[in-house]
Structure 1
Amino acid sequence: MDIDGPTTRLRAVGGSAADPTSEAATAPIPVVRDGRPAASPADRADRADRDERDERDDRPDDDARSGSAAPSRGRRGPGRARRSGVLLLAVAVLLVAVVGGAYYLFRSLTSAADFDGPGEGDVIIQVADGDSTAAIGRTLESTGVVASVGAFLDAAEQDDRILGVQPGSYQMRSRMSGAAAVGRLLDPAARVGQLEIRGGVQLDDTSAPDGTVAPGVLTLISRATCATIDGADACVSVDDLRAAMAQTDPAELGVPSWAREAVSAADPVRRLEGLLVPGLYEVEPGQDAVQVLQGLLATSTARLEAGGIVAGAEAIGSSPYEVLIISSLVEKEGITPDMPKVARVVYNRLAAGQRLELDSTVNYPLDLQALRTTAEDRGTPGPYNSYATAGLPPTPIAAPGRDAVAAALAPEPGPWFFFVRCQTDGTSCFAETFAEHTANVQLARDNGAF
Structure 2
Amino acid sequence: MPLPPEPPSGGPRRVSTPPGPFLTRREELAARRAELREIARRRRRRGLFVLLAALVLLGAVFGGGAYLVGSAFFTDDFDGEGQGDAVVRVLDGDSTRQIGTMLARRGVVASPEAFTEAAAEEKKVLGIQPGYYQMRLQMSGEAAVAAMIDPSSRVGRLEIRGGTQLDDTRSPDGTVAPGVISLISQASCARIDGQRRCVSPEELRQVMATADPASLGVPQWAVEDVARAEPNRRFEGLIVPGLYDVAPGTSATDVWKSLFAVSVAQLEASGLTSDASHDGLATYELLVLASLAEKEAITPDMGKVARVITNRLDINQRLELDSTVNYPLDLQALRTTAEARGTAGPYNSYQNTGLPPTPIAAPGKDAIAAALAPEAGPWTFFVRCQKDGTSCFATSLAEHQANVGQAVRNGAF
Please indicate, yes or no, whether the TM-score normalized by the shorter chain is above 0.5. Answer: yes
Quote how far apart the aligned CAs of 1:137 are. 0.8
Residue number among 283, 286, 294 corresponding to 1:323 in the alignment: 286
**Could you list the runs of 5+ residues in structure 1 that have no partner in the other structure?**
1-102
Partner of 1:180: 143
Residue number among 45, 62, 70 corresponding to 1:108 in the alignment: 70
Partner of 1:250: 213
Q: Deviations over 1:298-333 (max 9, x none)?
A: 100000001111277236543110100000000000
Contact 1:278–1:401 (8 Å) recurs in 2? yes
Instruction: Please give the alpha-carbon distance, in whole angstroms, between the structure 2 residues aligned to 1:310 and 1:109.
Output: 57
Q: Which amino acid aligns with 1:190?
A: S
SS of aligned partner of 2:134: strand
Work out the percentage of aligned pairs sharing the same amino acid: 63
Instruction: Please give the alpha-carbon distance, in whole angstroms, between the structure 2 residues aligned to 1:251 and 1:425.
Output: 41
Quote how far apart the aligned CAs of 1:362 are. 0.2
Instruction: Please give the alpha-carbon distance, in whole angstroms, between the structure 2 residues aligned to 1:295 and 1:319.
Output: 26
Instruction: Please give the alpha-carbon distance, in whole angstroms, between the structure 2 residues aligned to 1:283 and 1:441.
Output: 45
Q: Which amino acid aligns with 2:70?
A: S
Q: Does 1:124 align with 2:87?
A: yes
**Could you list the runs of 5+ residues in structure 2 that have no partner in the other structure?**
1-64
Instruction: Please give the alpha-carbon distance, in whole angstroms, between the structure 2 residues aligned to 1:162 and 1:286.
Output: 26
Partner of 2:344: 381
Residue number among 201, 205, 214 corresponding to 2:164 in the alignment: 201
The alignment yields a C-alpha RMSD, in angstroms, of 1.5
Instruction: Please give the alpha-carbon distance, in whole angstroms, between the structure 1 residues aligned to 2:393 and 2:241.
Output: 27
Q: Does 1:305 align with 2:305?
A: no
Partner of 1:149: 112
Partner of 2:227: 264
Contact 1:312–1:409 (8 Å) recurs in 2? no
Partner of 1:234: 197
Q: Does 1:357 align with 2:323?
A: no
Partner of 2:301: 338
Q: Deviations over 1:20-67 (max 9, x none)?
A: xxxxxxxxxxxxxxxxxxxxxxxxxxxxxxxxxxxxxxxxxxxxxxxx
Q: Which amino acid aligns with 2:180?
A: V
SS of aligned partner of 2:262: helix
Q: Which amino acid aligns with 1:219?
A: S
Bigger RCO of structures 1 and 2 (CA < 8 A, at least 6 apart): 2
Partner of 2:124: 161
Contact 1:125–1:140 (8 Å) recurs in 2? yes
SS of aligned partner of 2:167: coil
Instruction: Please give the alpha-carbon distance, in whole angstroms, between the structure 1 residues aligned to 2:153 and 2:390.
Output: 41
Contact 2:277–2:286 (8 Å) recurs in 1? no
Contact 1:310–1:319 (8 Å) recurs in 2? no
Over 3 Å counting, the alpha-carbon distance change for 1:105 and 1:336 in structure 2 is same
Instruction: Please give the alpha-carbon distance, in whole angstroms, between the structure 2 residues aligned to 1:126 and 1:367.
Output: 35
TM-score norm. by structure 2 comes to 0.82
Q: Which amino acid aligns with 2:314?
A: A
**Greater Cα radius of gyration, structure 1 or 2:** 1
